Amino acid sequence: MSHIYEGMLKNQQLPFVVRKLTIGDLPEILNVQNQVILQLENKERLQPLTNEEFQFILEENGWMIGAFVESQLIAFRALLVPPMDEEHLGWDIGLSETELPQVIYQEISNVLPAFRGNQLQKILAGLIMQELAKEQHSYRYVCCTVAPFNIPSLKDKFSQGMRIAALKEKYGGSLRYIFVKDLGETREPKYEETVFIPMKEISLQQAKLAEGWQAIQMEERAGEWWLQYTVSTAGAWHRSWTN
């Protein structure tokens, strides 16, 4: 199978390749996910996918790419075409029912613990969005969820220009930030106001989000994580999309 990228792991000084994944890669995908879960101190920070969910993506309901060292899968990333149900993230960011088909999810991203620190999440994020851009598609909004204090995943999403649009319980009661990126946005919005809120202040963040603010970045201050919330001159950002 042809490669879509070739690179060098800076920490191990090992060459690696990236290619699209198929249903035949499913056992290795599950193995990587299991190893990642075993290393997590807080298991609630990752919502793992089931065998059936991975199979759904691989059977032409999304895209998956993986990084390999020789024949070993060391990292993967997925995009999912979501089902139209009551849990659809489009509802959470204020989209109308007619806009839901324009949403695609950035799904799970896993890197084997031994290969962390090589910017594989960032590399795979760029590559999978390039693969999406090659397709004839009608997607405008890229959405995903991240648990508060899952710092690597939060940094990953912000580095892609994604913004926090909501903070609510998902997956049967787990608190999640809901990120979105508007692929149709052609210029950076101008912000009227900016405020930094500690990540631990859940209700204060939810209040700001309900008013149409969005979080665009995070920073560490004296060992505590703060989020930068802004409101644009257009007002509530998700309302401006649908007007």
Q: pLDDT digit string (tens) for 59-70?
A: 989 999 999 999
Boundary (domain end) residue, out of 186, 214, 232? 186
Query: So what's the pLDDT on residue 1?
Result: 67
Whether residues 167 and 234 share a domain: the answer is: no
- Segment 106-120 shows an average pLDDT of 93
115 and 170 in a single domain? The answer is: yes
Helix and strand element counts for the chain (H, E): 7, 11
**Residues whose CB is less than 8 angstroms from the CB of residue 63 and which lie 6 or more positions away in sequence, other chains included:** 20, 57, 78, 79, 128, 131, 132
User: Which of 143, 171, 186 is a domain's end point?
Assistant: 186
Instruction: Please check whether residues 130 and 27 belong to one and the same domain.
Output: yes
Instruction: Assign 239 a pLDDT band (cuts: 50, 70, 90).
Output: very low
| Residue 132 and residue 205 share a domain | no
> CA 174, CA 168: separation in Å to the nearest integer?
8
Count of structural domains, the chain: 2
Q: How confident is the model at residue 232 (pLDDT cuts 50, 70, 90)?
A: confident
**Angle between the 151-159 and 120-134 helix axes, to the nearest 10 degrees?**
40
Q: Are residues 191 and 79 in the same domain?
A: no
- The confidence score (pLDDT) of residue 161 equals 92
Task: Tell me the mean pLDDT in the region 151-177.
Answer: 93
Lowest mean pLDDT among 83-87, 160-164, 211-215, 233-237: 233-237
177 shares a domain with 192: no
Residue numbers of the domain that contains 122: 5-186
